[in-house]
A and B are shown apart, each in its own frame.
Chain A
């Protein structure tokens, strides 16, 4: 009977049965203890030692450090929060793509509120206050901050200083662009500009949001009130567009943070770029050729005497409400998380390996931050970041933040097209157009906020 069947069907049957057997055999593996997810391998490396010593002291509840790539982490975490199934005992997650975690009332949030524990253990004052903001939602704290992520400006010292420019005098963005513009243009004569003052991508919102945050233009607060159509934001957009829309385009549209971005930086396509502390490791990794060619400086301010730093990204460690072990393991998870995030070893290791500054203020005096760096031409860059750490702007934890950022980027690219099409480069007309575009953007976000019935009646 079997012989009469087509070979393709039989072959696939055999393959299917074999794989089923393998899959069944494999699925029996189960983790005992606490599972720790992180989206960053370099973070996990910093935790290995402390995890080993924890595992020695707690052989019943060993911690398994697990790397889960960022997008997978978002999908799996949200999937398990929605479904109410256990995921991990501790989740280290990135702010950017995960704003939807904060949607709905506290009962619908997948993470535990850690504020009571932080107060109980007297830890809350040890943390740099602005660093708590992205994880604080209407008074509840859903995660321990991993970092501060102040932003400095990284520039090609080899090119800029060779041109006789003293960056210490460039205290505002206006001065900065004016001083560096003459270095830019078409170097190889193919008719296309290949040197720009600043990396400012038009495909992603990250860099744009850094600029807006620096200017103090909060997009939306953590009660979901939209502020993105403020004059401060309009001013930033207008300024940036006036540089981007110029004939000799002063901003470089680079696919930022990717390996693709390293090439333009190495080739000097951008003379400077916004550099949050975590990007330092990124540069070590993707563009080692920049060593000894680049330096850091505080961001030029939007106005004389204004803020010289900003903030981008951020990681938190959260404890999901639903876990395999239930209440029994919940306290252990908190113990482990607290020890890890408040330890001196973690702070030192993270800075050494990744350039990331700790949010625990007590450790800011550690000598490791005063070491000279060869990569940055002998600068003590740790100290430079720490000097700016207390000035980092407050951020929002609104679930609509991501939409605000998207709308902001749309307004920005539309403003550039407007400037080019109408040949409008003067600040006045750009500002009024920016204000108009931002009003539309704010209205769009407001529509989404109003739609969220679950949030209603919370205020």
Chain B
């Protein structure tokens, strides 16, 4: 920080302000998480009696002995939480894999092939981008009813496999980062079309692939309205629906709700920490590169 002279005082103040503001923003954002993490370990009496940790004789003036894993044990014994976790992982990972592959294939075809009806498909995809999902709730429910797919995973997975948004994203990416010459030479080398796609094209769009997997995984993990409407058997419920059903008019099990929320958001947070860079790049690529 040597080169600054007269302005250094001013700069110092503005730097301090920046740190103060950012720290404040982070504190405000993280406070609910801290509250959640603490609340999940509190017992019924302390839950609303103290805002954060119960005060006591222990280290830092906290009654640590009043905290317990009780709420966590309860969600796994009294409720079927292990099952809900399995369902969520199943739905999110399967949807992510299937929709990513479908979207990548569709995007590839639209970007790198000439075929009859291509412009029509492209127009349909672009139109579909502006259709709000809630509009399709009622007719989809009716369709699933007639197909006898209500209360089944197929009823949730099949509609999620055709993401117009994903096809659109992958088409853009393929146009930018898959050179036609490379595909040509692969063909000349006698490489089959599917093989070309999986071994040459997909690795080229690796960042987009990671980002889209993550977007789709997160979207399914946090999806509530579709499983809520389509599933009826509690054994099939993902975390979002299972957790939401703990809130009731006459009595809400707050200890279990907070413990359940913590368990529900932890895997996603972990996944994000691992894939942070890819995710952010994928998110912003559509907007920023334009």
Contact = CB atoms under 8 A, between A and B. Distances in A.
Are A and B a genuine interacting pair, yes or no? yes
Interface of A: 1, 4-6, 8-9, 12-13, 15-16, 19-20, 22-23, 26-27, 29, 39, 68-72, 75-76, 79-80, 82-83, 85, 87, 94, 96-97, 204, 206, 257-260, 262-263, 282, 286, 313
28 contacts: A1-B195, A5-B199, A5-B203, A6-B202, A6-B203, A6-B210, A8-B214, A15-B93, A16-B97, A19-B94, A20-B90, A22-B86, A27-B235, A70-B245, A70-B248, A71-B247, A71-B248, A72-B245, A76-B234, A79-B229, A83-B151, A85-B150, A85-B151, A206-B249, A257-B249, A258-B254, A259-B44, A260-B254
Contacts of A96: 249-250
B245 A259 contact: no
Contacts of A12: 93, 96-97, 213, 217
B209 to A, nearest CB: 5
Contacts of A87: 232
A13 B217 CA distance: 12
Contacts of B96: 12, 16
A16 B90 contact: yes
A19 B199 CA distance: 26
Contacts of A9: 97, 100, 202, 209, 213
A23 to B, nearest CB: 5
A206 B247 CA distance: 17
A4 B199 contact: yes
B47 A259 contact: yes
B251 A282 contact: yes
A19 B248 contact: no
A239 B247 CA distance: 32
A20 B87 CA distance: 9
Nearest to A313: B250
A259 B252 contact: yes
A27 B90 CA distance: 13
Contacts of A19: 86, 89-90, 93-94
B161 to A, nearest CB: 13
Contact of B198 (A5, A29, A206): A5
Chain A: interface secondary structure? helix
B62 interface: no
Contact of B202 (A5, A71, A260): A5
A83 B210 contact: no
A72 B44 CA distance: 23
B206 interface: yes
B145 interface: yes
Nearest to A70: B248
A206 B251 CA distance: 13
Chain B: interface secondary structure? helix
A8 B97 contact: no
Nearest to B93: A16
Contacts of A15: 89, 93
Interface string B83-103: 100110110011011001000
B203 A4 contact: yes
B235 to A, nearest CB: 7
A98 B102 CA distance: 41
B94 A20 contact: yes
Contact of A22 (B49, B90, B249, B250): B90
B21 to A, nearest CB: 30
Contacts of B233: 76
A260 B209 CA distance: 45
Contacts of B30: none
B90 A71 contact: no
Interface residues of B, number: 51
B244 interface: yes
Contacts of A39: 248
B64 interface: no
B226 interface: no
A68 B199 CA distance: 49
B184 to A, nearest CB: 19
A82 B229 CA distance: 11
A190 to B, nearest CB: 16
A23 B199 contact: no
Nearest to A84: B145
Nearest to B91: A19
Given A1-B199, A71-B244, A79-B150, 20 more contacts: A5-B203, A6-B210, A8-B278, A9-B213, A12-B213, A12-B217, A15-B89, A69-B248, A70-B249, A70-B250, A72-B242, A75-B232, A76-B233, A76-B234, A79-B232, A97-B249, A206-B249, A259-B251, A263-B49, A282-B250
A313 to B, nearest CB: 7
Contacts of A257: 249-251
Closest A-B pairs by Cβ, 6 of them: A19-B90, A72-B245, A16-B93, A70-B248, A4-B199, A16-B94
A263 B42 CA distance: 15
Nearest to B275: A8
B52 interface: no
Given A12-B217, A69-B246, A258-B252, A85 B232 contact: yes
B228 interface: yes
Given A16-B97, A258-B252, A80 B203 contact: no
B282 to A, nearest CB: 11
B234 A8 contact: no
Choose among A8, A13, A69, A82 the residue with the greatest number of B CB atoms under 10 Å from its CB.
A8
A13 B209 CA distance: 13
A82 B233 CA distance: 15
Contacts of B150: 79, 83, 85
Given A12-B96, A85-B151, A259-B44, A6 B206 contact: yes
Contacts of B200: 4
B33 interface: no
Contacts of A259: 44, 47-48, 251-252, 254
B153 interface: yes
A87 B250 CA distance: 23
Contact of A26 (B49, B235, B237): B235
Interface string B271-290: 00001001000000000000
A266 B86 CA distance: 40
A8 B209 contact: yes
Contacts of B229: 79
Given A6-B203, A6-B210, A71 B87 contact: no
Interface string B14-54: 00000000000000000000000000000010011100000
Given A12-B213, A97-B249, A257-B251, A79 B93 contact: no
Contacts of B153: 23
A206 B249 CA distance: 10
B245 A71 contact: yes
